[in-house]
Chains A and B, each alone.
Chain A
Amino acid sequence: MERVVYSDNAATTPISKNVYNAMLPYLTTGYGNPSSLYSLAREEKKALDQARAYTAECLNCSPDEIIFTSGGSEADNLALKGLLFARGFSKEKKQIITSTIEHHAILHTCEFLERIGYEVTYIGVDGEGHIKMDELEQAISDKTALVSIMAANNEIGTIQDLKAIADLCHKKGTLFHTDAVQAVGHMHIDVKEMGIDMLSLSAHKIRGPKGVGALYCRKGIHLEPLIHGGGQENGKRSGTENVAGIVGLGEAMRYAHEHMDEYLPYVARLRDRLIEGVCKIPYTQLTGDPVNRLPGTASFVIECIEGESLVLRLDLAGIASSTGSACSTGSLDPSHVLMAIGLPHEIAHGSLRVTLGEQNTEEDVDYLIEKITYVVKTLRDMSPVWDEKMSGEPMLKLFDK
């Protein structure tokens, strides 16, 4: 293998040195339980407070509006179930509105809520993955308890106009939650200025550890906890705190807040270089919004090849990437996001997502372009679909069988 390039940063990121160093004391000597009274546990309590302060600073909220969780999925579950359960089953407020391109942490939670009697309305998106605002406006009614729309999409990188969505929700008298797991640390987020009521985030997408995340919940919004017990996290999430993990999250948030203006333009430049190079491959197109997209996310559909084969062959060349093809999802359908933006099945099967981080280099990008180009050519050489396309025969013959 000539090189190893980790370029699946939307899946997870490597822990940074500063996060590792910040966590280490709490995996060794700093083992005290933050709830204890004695001095041995005081450091741990202070460390939690500091992490909470860093997280709040990065989002521009108050530290007591941060609830640490086991990750982004728990934060999403807490936002949706916690809000509805706090109100009891209310006939008046029993509708949730979300989008067709959400992460499964939202979609499967919504499916569960539907099973127990709530109503869920799914808002569609345009070809670039933007929420249809007119559809959203029409869907919000007196019975809407919450609108949950992701800040930025994990597959195609499209960033939503959060302020516009929040304004619309508030104008129509409902609350707005955003799953910002892909967005935090990758774009500027100010919950006050944007008008966000609840926001989910995860540490391991911003070079922190796995198994820890947080929910920002604006003061005054009452949530029923998902985990009852000793009353940690202001009674909203019981269980002895994952101190080392939370410290890691705090340090990752501090770093993001202080250095975002340096690394975001750097990562975006790498991404643009990658997009330019890969789009030179014939019959290849970028998916998602070409401008308002996550700085590290390059996502494509490449015709006449299948995504799993592409990802496996790139892996043989030392490259970590991902795809939304059916063969990767374990069903006959490609990813719901690629379907929602209106791609035909046969095109969506050839999807590739490459997500860069600040640890990637220009050399990495050039290697990615070289290998992706080579592997696509290899796979097309053995693809009967490519032969059909090149012979000028109508592809419909194959696709409409």
Chain B
Amino acid sequence: MDYSEKVMDHFANPRNVGVLEDANAVGEVGNAKCGDIMKMYLKISDEGVITDIRFKTFGCGAAVATSSMATEMVKGKTISEALQLTNKAVAEALDGLPPVKMHCSVLAEEAIHAAIADYYKRKGLNPEEFMGTCDMNCDSCGKH
């Protein structure tokens, strides 16, 4: 597989791996049948800032690297900033992904969205009011 040095770095030394015991936002996307599952744990402050983040991923090298990169990119950001994160931005930050691996970056974006949706749900709020309606292109974002 033709991975960039950055992908290999994030794969070999993933940042923010693990479980966040005091997370108040948890999102899980993907399924084992397809070979990728990402679970993100976020700690979001009352001001709406992601103060801490961890992830666990079952998947290929690109799945691990995109999880790792996505956690770095949203740490310290506000919810609305984090929601702006696109899969393309994650892939670009990794100096690109092989075309067959682009879906892994989609999963990373979805995992963060799923965690933020969980955050609103825990507060008794409807995530769609804050995150917009879903285009239903995926089946695992957790908003439904």
Contacts and interface: CB of A to CB of B under 8 A. Distances in A.
A125 interface: no
B7 to A, nearest CB: 10
Nearest to A383: B58
Contacts of A401: 31, 33, 139-140
Contacts of B136: none
A326 interface: yes
A309 interface: yes
Q: Which of B12, B28, B37, B100 has the most CB of A within 10 A?
A: B37
Contact of A382 (B1, B12, B61, B64): B64
B58 A308 contact: no
Contact of B59 (A327, A332, A381, A395): A327
Nearest to A398: B32
Interface in B32-70: 32-39, 56-64
B14 interface: yes
A383 B59 CA distance: 8
Given A312-B11, A330-B100, A382-B64, A304 B58 contact: yes
Contacts of A384: 28, 37-39, 56-58
A308 B56 contact: no
Interface in B55-107: 56-64, 100-101
B37 A382 contact: no
Given A327-B59, A327-B60, A401-B140, A346 B14 contact: no
A328 B19 CA distance: 28
Contacts of A344: 33
Nearest to B139: A401
B137 to A, nearest CB: 16
A5 to B, nearest CB: 18
B12 A313 contact: yes
A306 B59 contact: yes
A383 B56 contact: yes
A399 B61 CA distance: 20
Interface in A309-366: 309, 312-313, 316, 325-328, 330, 332, 334, 344-346, 349
B17 interface: yes
B57 A383 contact: yes
A161 interface: no
B35 A325 contact: yes
B100 A305 contact: no
Contacts of A386: 58
A97 B129 CA distance: 59
Contacts of B14: 382
A385 B34 contact: no
Contact of B35 (A306, A381, A382, A387): A306
A334 B35 CA distance: 9
A345 B33 CA distance: 5
Contact of B32 (A313, A328, A385): A385
A302 B121 CA distance: 36
Interface string A356-398: 0000000000000000000000000111111100000001001
A384 to B, nearest CB: 4
Interface string A125-165: 00000000000000000000000000000000000000000
Contacts of B100: 330
A166 B132 CA distance: 65
A312 B61 contact: yes
B34 to A, nearest CB: 5
Given A308-B61, A309-B59, A345 B35 contact: yes
B3 to A, nearest CB: 8
A128 B80 CA distance: 53
A398 B140 CA distance: 11
Q: Which of A304, A306, A328, A381 has the most CB of B within 10 A?
A: A306
B61 A309 contact: yes
Contact of A308 (B12, B34, B60): B60
Interface in B102-144: 139-140
Contacts of B19: 387
Given A309-B60, A327-B61, A345-B35, 6 more contacts: A306-B36, A306-B59, A312-B11, A332-B35, A384-B28, A398-B31
13 contacts: A308-B60, A309-B11, A316-B12, A327-B60, A327-B101, A382-B14, A383-B57, A384-B37, A384-B57, A385-B32, A399-B31, A399-B32, A401-B33
For the complex of A and B, 5 pairs with smallest distance between CB atoms: A327-B60, A346-B32, A308-B60, A384-B39, A384-B56
